[in-house]
Amino acid sequence: MMGFDMSYMLLVMLPGMALSGLASMMVKRTFAKYETVGTSGNLTGAEAARQMLERAGVTDCRIEAVSGRLSDHYDPRDKTLRLSEPVYGQTSVSAIGVACHEAGHALQHAQGYKWLKMRSSLVPVTNISSKMSMPVLMIGMMMLAMAPTLGLWVVLVGCALFAAAVVFSVVTLPVEWDASARAKTAMLDAGIVTQDEADGAGKVLNAAFLTYLAAAISSILTLLYYLHRAGLLRMLFNRR
């Protein structure tokens, strides 16, 4: 059975935790800062999202409140935009920014944005592979000492399963960036916010994007670690 692995701690866990912690802290601090700043239009997050969608000709998207904080999301399966309580009914710069970002996803869906289509198609596979990958990898790593050849194949299967989650996290990056870009443009074009208010909302959205970037980097580091431990990276480079 594998003992404590210091290389995993130094190369994967600590960098991943540091990145995720820093990104999460920045989101919370930036959201809280602009949560107390009102907008001149005095629209709630839900009203801003609805105005943005209707201006783009999207009228079949439901907008509803959901419990929690920063639990906002768009569900393409039933065309529903769900906004958290601090966003749905508030008129702050933070609320407007987050609501319009989620509305950006609805616009992506309505306009057939290719990266959103790709991410949606990966969801079923990712849901399964993310649950199976770590148990398979752990079994494979333990088998390497007892049956190296078989263990190597098991680790390879685990890496393939985990790679699906890595691809999902990477594909998520252009989806989230594009939704924010759409929101930043639409907020101004529709007169929902002023330029100064849009700058504040943009800072909220940029901080939120860092959480997705941190998740992608952490997943890539984890995959590379297991490929290295199994000797697969060395085999790959030796063939070149």
Q: In the chain, what are the domain boundaries? A: 6-238
Angle formed by the axes of helices 195-229 and 14-35, nearest 10°: 170
Tokens of 57: 């000709």
Residue 164's pLDDT is 94
Judge contact between 178 and 108, C-beta under 8 A: yes
Distances in Å between the alpha carbon of 116 and those of 128, 161, 218?
19, 21, 22
Backbone φ, ψ for residue 82 (5° rounding)? -110, 120
**Among 160, 156, 200, 171, CA closest to 34:** 200
Catalytic (active-site) positions: 102
Per-residue pLDDT 10s for the chain (240 aa) are 344 466 666 666 777 788 888 888 999 999 999 999 999 999 999 999 999 999 999 999 999 999 988 899 999 999 999 999 889 999 999 999 999 999 999 999 999 999 999 999 999 999 999 999 999 999 988 888 888 889 889 989 999 999 999 999 999 999 999 999 999 999 999 999 999 999 999 999 999 999 999 999 999 988 888 888 777 666 656 655
Q: Hey, what are 225's tokens? A: 């670690």
Q: Residue 239's pLDDT is what?
A: 58
Are 39 and 95 spatial neighbours (Cβ–Cβ below 8 Å)? no
